[in-house]
Structure 1
Amino acid sequence: MVRIFKKNIGFFIWAVGGYGELFRKYPYPIAAEGEGCHAFALGGNVAQGSRLANQSFMWDIITTEFRRHPIKRVADLGSGNAGALISLCKVFPEATGIGIDVSAKAIDDAQRNILRHGLQDRIRLYNQNVLQAVEDPVLQQRFAQADTLMTFIMMHDLFNIEDPIWVLKKLRSTFPNVREFLIADTFISEEQSLSDESPIFVYGFEYVHSLMKIKLFKKSDYENYFAAAGFNIMATHYLNVPNTYLFVLQ
């Protein structure tokens, strides 16, 4: 039981630490107005929980994919506490990274993590919305140097802001020298109905996004969007979390 709890603690921190206040407040009017729900999410805890879940269930698969093509400069959209960038810089001693995250608390935590690992000269962070950052002329010059782009469990947020095909085409034009795009996300369950056997993560993920009025998509939707935006899917990996996959695109 202790082993199972340790393996799943990232999901616990993500749900209870990140969205516990939202669960407690809802359905009071202040939290029921869609965008107002975001005020009750604790970005630092969401980032920490996401990274721990990533490490427990996904990271071995992701690292194996990175090793196929050595990287020099990687961009992480929705970089959270910089855990992924730090891990990659340790695996690839010559690599540098750039991270973008909308949460100021996540960026503060990330800066401390980077200092603790002595990587302040190799990782730069920006506290911005991704779709604003890709329009920033100064950042565009830095983005043009990236050879690899990754984003984990965040693309559905961007797809709720702008048309998905526009988003993907914008990423391609903003990162012209990226050889591989690694995009991981969790899709809406295609079960006819959830049951007692459905993993608790499915309930939590779909419930949170329903409260926040964030649309989730099907896996097939992503495949269609990638094709329409001109990407080729080189590989697809199940990431050991229900409805969660990594796409490797070129």
Structure 2
Amino acid sequence: MSSVLAAFEMAGLLTGLENGTLTRAVVKDRGSDESALLGASLRYLTQRGLVEESGDAFTLTEYGRDVCRDKGYLVWLVGGYGEPLRRMDAFLSGEKRYGVDYPRDGRWVADGAAMLGRKDVVPHALRLLEGVEFDHAVDLGCGNARFLLTVCSRFGASGTGVDISPEACAEADKAVRAAGLTDKVRVVRGDAGDLSAIPSLGETQLMITFFLLHEILAQGRDALVAYLSDMAERLPQGARLLIAEVRPPAAGENRPWFTPEFTLVHALMRQTLLDAKGWSAALADGGFTVREVLEDDMPGGILILAERTR
């Protein structure tokens, strides 16, 4: 079911179920093979109680709408990590390695993260930024740049987005043009781990890292502290760092939906998750002082606003 719903979103069909524009005529108007498969998929979703026919249109049931509120998580997991998860047998046997033999799909990781973040992370992040003064923001691992565009529009700043995925950068460029912000926001394809190659850090008052620093941490805590120290040296005094991460489950904690999947995927990538106390200690060692920490609506999600003080 998760794979079918994710496929509908990735193919641009889920919106039709959400707003009632996916009709029998639309299904029949496709190629014969596509029409047959789409019809079979709709029957499957109907049998599972997620879709119903309303007049000539296929629409989501109340249960279907409830499930599809989490479509960003489904796209992130199925679209972004579907292939490596399908190859778990090769990883478990040691025959293959994640990232070398079967990497994730950068575009759908970015798009899924943007979708889930828009509902569960962004509103909290924007509240954290109220009262923070900045003229230029850099978003490391910007994905499709939706959050960077929101920040720049909301606070009247310019921005630079950096992402290593060519697919994510292509989507980000489209988003910048669609927002009419080509004069204020640019997207650079590059490795966010190489701060020396990122322009304008000396004039950047806000650095954004959403779900990036745990990838640096995968190289070890010393590597993370070295990375943060390098960042602190390049940023001006008083610059802010806005971090979004996922904390590990606490002992005995009843974890909500999707947190076990996050934990499994990070283990697959040999990445470690830190709690707020762990991040605060690493940031302090790297030259930053934590100003505020809050939990957002993402399962296990935390936001940290820190300031460069060294």
TM-score where L is the length of structure 2: 0.72
Relative to structure 1, is the Cα distance of residues 103 and 154 closer, same or farther in structure 2, using a 3 angstrom cutoff? same
**Alpha-carbon distance in structure 2 between the residues aligned to 1:54 and 1:202:** 15
> Which residue of 208, 225, 234 maps to 1:150?
208
Secondary structure (helix, strand or coil) at the match of 2:280 reads helix
Cα distance, 1:75 vs structure 2: 0.7
- Structure 1 residue runs of 5 or longer lacking an equivalent are none
Q: Distance in 1 between matches of 2:201 and 2:238?
A: 9
CA distances 1:64-91 after superposition (whole Å, capped 9, x unpaired): 1222224311011110000011111221
Where does residue 145 of structure 2 map in the other structure? Answer: 82
Amino acid at match of 2:192: V
Once the two structures are TM-superposed, the CA of residue 104 in structure 1 deviates from its matched residue by 1.2
Which residue identity lines up with residue 175 of structure 2 in the other structure?
A: N
Q: Distance in 1 between matches of 2:250 and 2:81?
A: 24
Query: What is the one-letter code of the residue matched to 2:210?
Result: F
Distance, in Å, in 2 between the alignment partners of 1:52 and 1:31 is 34
Query: In the alignment, is residue 212 of structure 1 matched against residue 275 of structure 2?
Result: no
Q: Give the residue type in structure 1 aligned to 2:152.
A: C
CA distance in 2, matches of 1:228, 1:179: 16
Is 1:185 aligned with 2:249?
A: no
The two structures, once aligned, show a CA RMSD in angstroms of: 2.0
Unaligned runs of 5+ in 2: 1-62
Letter in structure 1 aligned against 2:263: E
- Asked whether the 8 Å contact 1:77–1:100 carries over to 2, the reply is yes
Runs of 4+ in 1 over 4 A off after TM superposition: none
Shift of the 245–31 alpha-carbon distance from structure 1 to 2, 3 Å rule, reads farther
What is the number of residues matched between the two proteins?
241
Match among 182, 188, 198 for residue 255 of structure 2: 198
Q: Which amino acid aligns with 1:203?
A: P
Residues 42-69 of structure 1, C-alpha deviations (whole Å, 9 max, x = no match): 1010001101111111111111122222
> Could you say which residue in structure 1 is the equivalent of 2:196?
135
Paired with 2:229 and 2:95, the residues of 1 have a C-alpha distance of 34
| Percent identity of equivalent pairs | 23
For residue 130 of structure 1, give the secondary structure of its aligned residue in structure 2. coil
Counterpart-to-counterpart distance in 1, 2:140 and 2:95 = 27
Larger radius of gyration: 2
Q: Given the two structures, how large is their TM-score scaled by the length of structure 1?
A: 0.88
Query: Structure 1 residues 148, 178: CA separation in 2 closer, same or farther (over 3 Å shift)?
Result: farther
1:34-183 alignment runs, 5 A limit: 34-36=98-100, 39-93=102-156, 95-132=157-194, 134-136=195-197, 139-140=198-199, 142-161=200-219, 163-177=223-237, 179-183=239-243
Counterpart position of 1:238: 295
Post-superposition CA distance 1:78-112 (Å, at most 9, x none): 1000001111122123x110111111111111111
